[in-house]
Structure 1
Amino acid sequence: MKFQVCLSVFLCVTGVAFSWENNWDGPFEFMCPHGQSIRRITSNHNNRAEDRQWRFECSNTGAVASCVWSGYVNDFDQPLLFQCPNNGVITGISSYHNNNAEDRRFKFHCCSISGRSLTNCRFSLSYSNTFDGYLNFYVPNNQVLKGAFSYHSNGAEDRRWKFEVCQSS
């Protein structure tokens, strides 16, 4: 959705508004268009809801050989470690929130890229967010998203995240 904001008769700013994939405490299921994978993950935490809203962006990765959804890969209040199998890249994420645990469970959609293999895979050394902080992760140029790791804090009622990226050749 495009928008325009005019601060005075002489200054107008035009941009593109975005919406979150979920409402506070609400589920979401996001999938990139065919032939694309997740390129950016953005998330905002709210202490009143003790939840995060999520937004994703995609970029072209090439022809897809096969795709599959994982089952839920974490229990509430437990660590999450996920890596797409079979040279797969993350092309979708689904999640639901539980108010008793004040946490989310996640599952991932993975697709393998035709005629390509993933090399030099590594998790980021630092976390992409602080507890209760904004998350803004970009997959570096010429790389793809293969995996995710997070852990939950009952004190903060939030998760910290690291992501695994690979070169695709």
Structure 2
Amino acid sequence: MNVKVIGFERLKEEYESCSDFKDIFLTLQNGELDTTDGFRLEEGYLFRSNKLCISRTSVRDFIMWESHAGELARHFGCDKIIVEVERQFYWPNLKTDVVKIVGTCNTWQRFKQKRQNTGLYTPLPVPSCPWQDVSMDFVLELPRTPKKQGFMSHLACIWI
């Protein structure tokens, strides 16, 4: 099988010194085994289940940032980034690394965080005749009463 990995030539040199892949790489390079634990060596590149192994270099950060904030990525969250990166690459603790990278993104924190509906409530207009305006207000997630009743005991309905 002919493997062509463009732009990642540096990885071939880094496997031997990488604490994540050193033992596996040396075992495969010495020809002791063809595959071990799903890892295989092809033309100097280390693969695990058809995923290119990325050693502890800035390449990892580049791949995660490109998947998260690259031109086509649009600052997706952790789950989408993990799926995208895991589709092609492998390294131990990939998920943890993605969570850290996304957590440091200012754009993600500003625009994708959970927003609460907090603000000023405006009063309803005063109706000029009966049944012109009917409204209900549900207040949820209130604490239980001492008698352990549910939220229905706290439900307020106002008919105007």
Per the TM superposition, whether the score is higher than 0.5 is no
| TM-score range normalised by the length of the shorter chain | under 0.3
The structure, 1 or 2, with the larger RCO (C-alpha pairs under 8 Å, 6+ apart) is: 1
Normalised to the residue count of structure 2, the TM-score between the two structures is 0.20
Structure with greater helix percent: 2
Larger Rg: 2
Structure with greater strand percent: 1
